[in-house]
């Protein structure tokens, strides 16, 4: 059974009133949800509260879950909407940029170059690369930034990203390609790569 099939089975049981099945789903995805929400909300205590609220909303909305997308994709949408509503209710604007640290930068293609931190020079280069990736991400239009974040940071499939972003899979592929190209362009001077290569 695939991960998605297991989730769907747990959802079906939860829809029939099995609270333990939903608790299993919640414990499986709570940390991932908290990590996602911490990109929108800075205060860790607020993040925990909003994550709990999102899980409660997901539980209440569970009868409407039809399995058109993966459970996490569905929960992701609820979490992001809950965070945005929370920020608006606090009189704050949801951020349009997301910060990334060097650990997250390593999940990009060619991240092996970031893992060699045996010398001060390579540690400095790692920091410069992470900062460059972060600034390149911040400079991306929102739809490109969202697509690349869901793919590279959250590890979602193209199908799930298409569902989460409510667009065709071809559009998702195009956005991810364009985002990678923009990031590669910024990294080229640091990594000393040729024009026709990403890194």
- Smallest CA-to-CA distance from 13 within 51, 65, 52 is with 65
CATH of domain 3-89: 1.10.1740.10
- pLDDT of res. 133: 81
Interatomic CA distance for residues 26 and 19, integer angstroms: 11
Evaluate whether 32 touches 41 at the Cβ level (below 8 Å).
no
CATH 1.10.10.10 fits 102-191, yes or no: yes
All CATH 1.10.1740.10 domain ranges in the chain, comma separated: 3-89
Helix, strand, coil percent content, the chain, rounded in steps of 5: 70, 0, 30
pLDDT, tens only, 22-45? 999 999 998 889 988 888 888 888
Residue 132 three-state SS: helix
Regarding predicted confidence, which is higher, 112 or 183?
183
Regarding predicted confidence, which is higher, 176 or 106?
176
Residue written as token pair 């060619």 = 110
All CATH 1.10.10.10 domain ranges in the chain, comma separated: 102-191
- pLDDT of res. 174: 92
pLDDT, tens only, 85-130? 888 887 776 554 444 333 333 343 434 443 444 456 656 767 777 7
Q: Considering the entire predicted model, what is its pTM? A: 0.51
């Amino acid at each position: 059974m695939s991960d998605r099939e297991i989730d769907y089975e747990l959802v079906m049981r939860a829809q029939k009133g099995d609270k333990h099945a939903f608790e299993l789903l919640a414990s499986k995805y709570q940390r991932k949800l908290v990590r996602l929400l911490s990109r929108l909300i800075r205060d860790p205590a607020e993040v925990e509260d909003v994550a709990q609220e999102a899980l409660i909303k997901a539980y209440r909305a569970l009868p409407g879950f039809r399995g058109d997308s993966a459970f996490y994709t569905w929960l992701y949408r609820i979490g992001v909407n809950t965070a945005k509503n929370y920020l608006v209710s606090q009189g704050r604007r949801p951020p349009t940029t997301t910060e990334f640290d060097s650990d997250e930068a390593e999940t990009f293609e060619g991240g092996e170059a970031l893992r060699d931190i045996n010398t001060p020079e390579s540690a400095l280069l790692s920091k410069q690369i992470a900062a460059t990736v972060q600034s390149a991400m911040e400079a991306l239009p929102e739809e490109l930034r969202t697509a690349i974040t869901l793919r590279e940071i959250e590890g979602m499939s193209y199908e799930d990203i298409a569902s989460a972003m409510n667009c065709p899979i071809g559009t998702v592929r195009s956005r991810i390609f364009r985002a990678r190209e923009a990031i590669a362009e910024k990294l080229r001077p640091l990594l000393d790569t040729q024009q026709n290569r990403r890194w």
